[in-house]
Structure 1
Amino acid sequence: MLLAMILVLALLVNPALASSKPHSKHMRRPISWVKSSETVPYPELKGKPNLWVKVSLKGNRTYVYSGKKLLYTMYSSAGVYKKDPVTHKMKSVTPTGTFHASNIRKDRVYNPNLKLGANYCISWNGDYMFHSIVTTKDPHHYIKSLANKQGKAPSSPGCVCLSIADAKWFEHDLPTGTKVVVADN
């Protein structure tokens, strides 16, 4: 009983510790970078109490919670890992910490320096966004070598890549101000 109370208290203090187990019976298999990650309809997010998002960098998953209740799990791929020049440890180029979904939403972005683009974007930390699988300059030409890493391995220069359907849902339905916790686990 005491252990259960400590766990509940830990979750209230640090929501990043909340369960990150996917709704395995609803997860789409094989992984599709076009379709929704789950085979059930998307939940309505507006008005959900204590709505927040957890990104698991190593787990290649993005979870949507209402408090401690897991609402939806998405296959995702975030920033690649590079050796940190100070610690000499491998570290994702995606920043970790607590952020908030902004009102910056774009149907399309393109970075001419990287020669990469994406569709259905919502910012959570300046230039860091949730968005679709990466594209070339042509918004309809998805880079299949990166798409095939979806939900399996890091693949982006820093943003969190979602399937096309998941990114479109997030861009249109994730309320501005929603807490986003990015964890290197």
Structure 2
Amino acid sequence: MISTINGTVRSIHSDRLIIEVGGVGLSISVNAATSAGVTMGSQVQLFTSLVVREDSLTLFGFLSDEARSLFELVQTVSGIGPKVALSILGALTPEDLTRAIATQDVASIERVPGIGRKGAQRMILELQGKLNDLSTGATYSGHVAQWRENLTGALVSLGFSPKDSDSAISAVLSGLAANGQDPSTMALGDLLKAALANGKSRRG
């Protein structure tokens, strides 16, 4: 696997760079943010991810290891492929994307072309808890959205164990994501009612 490329920038386009390495020009797919971060004729190091398809091999490049790691992580979300993942990293810095996922900031993610509200909610739901694997996520991995903290406290006070509370809240999040709803905009009472209903069905 090709993890990094060090070479000279020979051509700059909004969606790709030509990097000369040992006399060979390599075409690297990038986003506009990466293109804007390099200059013609300069030496550059790109952190790369090779995407293999039945009819193609595409090398994607990033200016930081964090961006490359997030690019690969985002593709684990159902419905998100490399092109959309690249677009996400072009619209949001690794720090901003990590913060948005950790704090469940749907509004920041849904602004990315091709994502939409449901896609942003699905991304947050599926990537919550996976940020500890990323160095850029260390600052934000302990941050919990205020609504979730309040809801957990309410459930525990009603006799739910922390494990049951987490299961009930995860079920609520799945239902909200399916309906395109943002939990941060809902009243605690409505969230609690939904969580209690899920908890009751799970307990039988």
Give TM-score scaled by structure 1 length.
Answer: 0.24
Q: Which has the larger radius of gyration?
A: 2
Q: Which has the bigger relative contact order, CA under 8 A and spacing at least 6?
A: 1
**Structure that is richer in helix per residue:** 2
Give TM-score scaled by structure 2 length.
Answer: 0.23
**Structure that is richer in strand per residue:** 1
